[in-house]
Amino acid sequence: MYKPSEGLAEPPVAPWDESAAGEEHEALIQFMYMAPIGLVQLSEDGTVRMANPMTVQLLLPVAPGGDLSNFFTTLEGPAPELRALAAFTGPEEGPVIQDHRVAVPALRNPSGYPLVLAISLLRLGRDHLMALVSDVSEAVLRETQLRAAEAWHKQSLTLALEAAETADRAKSEFLANISHELRTPMHAISSFARLGQERFDAAPREKLGRYFDNIDGSATRLMRLLNDLLDLAKIEAGKLTYVFKLQDASALLQSLVGEFQAMANSRGVRLEFTSPPTAMRAELDDGRFRQALANLLSNAIKFSPEGGTVTVELRLGVIASGAETLVVEVADQGPGIPADEMDLIFDKFAQSSKTKTGAGGAGLGLPIASELIAAHGGCLSVENRPTGGARFRVETPLLREPAATETSLDVA
Ligand SMILES: Nc1ncnc2c1ncn2[C@@H]1O[C@H](COP(=O)(O)OP(=O)(O)O)[C@@H](O)[C@H]1O
Ligand SMILES: [Mg+2]
């Protein structure tokens, strides 16, 4: 039996098999000694008769106490068949080959991978078994990595496919919505223009005037829609640019409310604006902040009942961090927003079930407004007033977060 204490320098000898001595046996010993893989000659009961240096190198860490004699019969783990070698009863003829992989994750191979041994058993003649032992840790690891990479690849393909399908659906919905919104005013423009042409000579002036009013209204609506679409496209492409300037928010809102006075008057809606007595300086992009607030104001007036009041209130707020904020609330006495549609109305082309009667526009105002406010570092929210009507609230920091600058050390 091979004793590890005999060292690896000498070929393993086989004192247990004197009778087999001879040239053939010597040749076998030499061959085993040179072989670059682990070779083990086993007796019928599975005990080790002879093991070459490569086997010793491979199995020493796994063989308790360095004793290989019963390694194959005491082997634990995923290859219980190996233990059954003790009762070796395979077919007597032919090279019975059994392949096993024995993982010994607690041990590492010389490259540092968890040890995995490939053990193949083959019959040599009637009562001899030979085990080929090799370290397949790296191959196994590569295989595992390959499988993981394949699985990952497959998963990312599935995700990409799903995303593409969703995007495709969104695009189709978008096109359906947009063609409807574009076609309606276009159709009105061409119809009234044709009517005007046909009745140019016969129709009274007031009637012709109404045709022109209709054409003008539809063209304005079309222009507004195209502007919104353009803004949305820029926002989504991250191409909308902002110029933030410290300015008096109170004056900005005062002038904006003034611009909506005519619209409010024409609908019999009262428009009220309250603000702190002193100037309220905040860092804003004048045009973009106005644009966001203008949509809130136009919605409030549009959805107000005749005789209703729309209030715009500007005041100073404070957030948890202690930072001061600018708060603008636009409140009306209209239908309000159904509780379960509070999020929905911020989606593109979405309108609440309470206003689907045609009073609304294309449904792009709120998604654009909330993006514009977000670009100011603030947020846009909505709630229903206890007394009826909706209250939209804009809150943004007075001063924007300073851009990350390099910290400089004072070396005075
Ligand atoms: N003040 C409001 N009162 C009630 N509903 C509102 C109000 N503002 C917005 N909404 C609802 O949100 C929807 C989306 O608004 P918006 O994005 O500005 O689009 P649009 O004004 O073109 O309809 C409106 O159609 C309406 O259903
Ligand atoms: Mg709107």
Atom of ligand 1 lying closest to residue 389 CA:
3
Instruction: Please state which of the ranges 24-28, 231-235, 285-289, 395-399 shows the lowest mean pLDDT.
Output: 24-28
Contact (CB, 8 A) for 104 and 119: no
| Average pLDDT of every residue of the chain | 82
- pLDDT of res. 73: 59
Give the separation between CA 182 and CA 74, rounded to whole angstroms: 81
Q: Quote the ligand 2 centre to 283 CA distance (angstroms).
A: 25
Q: Which helix (H) or strand (E) holds 380?
A: strand 379-384
Q: Quote the ligand 1 centre to 42 CA distance (angstroms).
A: 85
Q: Tell the burial category of 337 from Cβ atoms under 10 Å away from its Cβ (0-12, 13-18, 19+).
A: buried
Q: What is the CATH number of domain 4-135?
A: 3.30.450.20
Neighbours of 170 (CB within 10 A): 11
Q: Which of 83-92, 370-379, 403-412 has the highest mean pLDDT?
A: 370-379
Indicate the pairing of strand 270-274 with strand 309-318.
parallel
**Token pair of 166 as six digits:** 């969703």
3-state secondary structure of 36: coil
Give per-residue pLDDT as tens, 349-369: 888 888 865 545 788 999 999
**Token pair of 78 as six digits:** 């995923």
Query: Which residues contact residue 47 at a Cβ distance below 8 angstroms, ignoring those fewer than 6 apart?
Result: 1, 69, 70, 72, 73
Domain coordinates in residue numbering, the chain: 4-135, 145-236, 245-397
Across 262-266, average pLDDT: 96
Give the separation between CA 37 and CA 239, rounded to whole angstroms: 64
Q: How confident is the model at residue 390 (pLDDT cuts 50, 70, 90)?
A: very high
- The residue behind tokens 């032919």 is 94
Give per-residue pLDDT as tens, 234-254: 998 889 999 999 999 999 999
Instruction: Please state which of the ranges 19-33, 106-120, 270-284 shows the lowest mean pLDDT.
Output: 19-33
Give per-residue pLDDT as tens, 291-317: 999 999 999 999 999 999 999 999 999
From the list 89, 88, 86, the residue with the least C-alpha distance to 69 is: 86
Give the separation between CA 75 and CA 103, rounded to whole angstroms: 11
**CB half-sphere exposure, 216, CA atoms < 13 A:** 6
Burial 50-82 (b: 16+ CB within 10 A, else e): bbbbbbbebbeebbeeebbbbbbbebeeebeeb
pLDDT at 373 over 70: yes
The pocket around ligand 1, CB under 6 angstroms, is made up of 295, 299-300, 303, 332, 334-337, 345, 351-352, 355, 360-366, 390
- Residue 384 carries which side chain, given as an amino acid letter? N
pLDDT at 118 over 80: yes
Model-level pTM? 0.60
Q: Quote the ligand 2 centre to 247 CA distance (angstroms).
A: 26
Across 174-183, average pLDDT: 82
If one residue of 177, 225, 345 were mutated to test the ligand 1 pocket, choosing by the most ligand atoms within 8 A of its CB, it would be 345
> Percent of the chain, pLDDT > 90?
46
Burial 8-46 (b: 16+ CB within 10 A, else e): eeebbebeeeeeeeeeeeeebbeebeeeeebbbbbbeeb
Q: How confident is the model at residue 133 (pLDDT cuts 50, 70, 90)?
A: confident
From the list 307, 341, 339, 313, the residue with the least C-alpha distance to 326 is: 313
End-to-end CA distance of the chain: 80
Atom of ligand 1 lying closest to residue 362 CA:
22
Q: Quote the ligand 1 centre to 408 CA distance (angstroms).
A: 49
Instruction: Please state which of the ranges 43-57, 159-173, 396-410 shows the lowest mean pLDDT.
Output: 396-410
- Residue 279 carries which side chain, given as an amino acid letter? A
Q: How confident is the model at residue 407 (pLDDT cuts 50, 70, 90)?
A: very low
pLDDT at 137 over 70: yes
pLDDT at 403 over 90: no
Check whether domain 145-236 has CATH 1.10.287.130, yes or no: yes
Q: Kindly state the greatest CA–CA separation across the chain.
A: 131
pLDDT at 409 over 80: no
Give the separation between CA 393 and CA 296, rounded to whole angstroms: 9
What CATH class does 245-397 carry?
Answer: alpha beta
